[in-house]
Structure formats: structure tokens, C-alpha cells
Amino acid sequence: MIRGPQVRVLDADGNQLGVMAVRQAIEAAEAAGLDLVEVAATAAPPVCRIMDYGKFKYQQSKKAKDAKKKQTVIHLKEIKLRGKTEEHDFQFKLKSIKKFLGEGDKVKITIVFKGREITHTEQGRTMLNRVVAEIKDASVIETPPKFEGRTMMMVVSPAQTKVKPAESSRPPANVQANTRENQDAKNQDQ
């Protein structure tokens, strides 16, 4: 609902039609076969635009869907180990950690201590250090190992290795200059 006696009106192309009474603006919109939409209610006078409101809403929903498609969701995966995890199980869990990091997910590595294992927390710290040593090239430690109750945990995220496209796709400028000079020299020799 447009409130106020006068409004500043923009046509469908964005050109200003000037300040006019609300009734005149509505008539101008109806003459064009379009709608009068208030775009800036807080301005003095309020700004209205003559447009196809249904088409506008459709385009807004399409933009929102495209933005949602392009966004990436990072999940937090959890791997649980024990202080006494055997070698084969450790390698299997390590393979899972590498797979999760390869997919772009963060990984929470948790060491659980049960019963009297709590007195040997150094085994858990050794286990986490071993995991870090195995995945150091594919990950970044986001949260260092910390102790919470009967668990020791840390969070790792995938390493970001992005190459700037300008540097990788084009040789340095001096190389191009040399090749042009060489071509000119070849053309003059012939």
C-alpha cells in the first residue's frame, strides 16, 4: 500500500517521470499495462517504479535458487579412536579421514578414554600426533588437541591450495615481449 499524497515515479526503463500524485502514478502504470511498486518507502517523497511485479518476483526467486545452488556446504565428520586402537583399525580410520578431507569436509578426531584408560592420556596424544603427521599435507589444524572430560579432540579442515588463474594461464610479460621481438627479427631477416 502506497502511503503519502505524492510519489517520485520511475518508468520501466528506470527513467524518472518526476514527482506526481499517487492517483496519476497508478493511472500511468495502468496505461503501460504494468504495476506501480513502491521501492523506497522511507525516501521523501516515496519512490515508486512502474514494472511487471509478477515478473520481478519470479526473477527474484530464480536468483535465490541460483545462489543456493552455488553455495557449498561444509559438513563436520567425526572419527572416534581409542588410546589402544590397533594398527589396522588406525589405518582404516586414517583412510576415512583422508577421504573426508578430499571431499572438502572438516573432520573432528576424537579419542575416547574408558575406565582406567584416563590415566594414560599420553597414548591419546600420541595417537593424535600420529594422525597429524599422516595428514599434514592435506589438512590444516583448525582446533588443536584439547581435553574435555573423558575425551580428547581436535578439528582439522582441508588445506586450501588455490592457484591464481592469471599467473598459471599466462607467461610473464617479459617472455611475451621477447617472443614478439624474436618474431620481428625473424620477419626482418626474411
Query: pTM, whole model, 2 decimals?
Result: 0.52
Other Cβ atoms within 10 Å of 184 Cβ, number: 10
Q: In what order do the strands lie in the sheet with 139-148?
A: 76-82, 106-112, 151-158, 139-148
pLDDT at 137: 86
* CATH code given to domain 76-158: 3.30.110.10
Parts of the chain belonging to CATH 3.10.20.80: 6-54
Beta-carbon-side half-sphere exposure of residue 171 (alpha carbons within 13 Å): 6
* Cell numbers describing residue 82: 581409542
CATH class held by domain 6-54: alpha beta
d(CA 100, CA 71): 19
pLDDT at 127 over 80: yes
Residues of the chain with CATH 3.30.110.10: 76-158
pLDDT band at 111 (very low <50, low <70, confident <90, very high): very high
Check: CB of residue 38 under 8 Å from CB of residue 47: yes
Mean pLDDT of the chain: 82
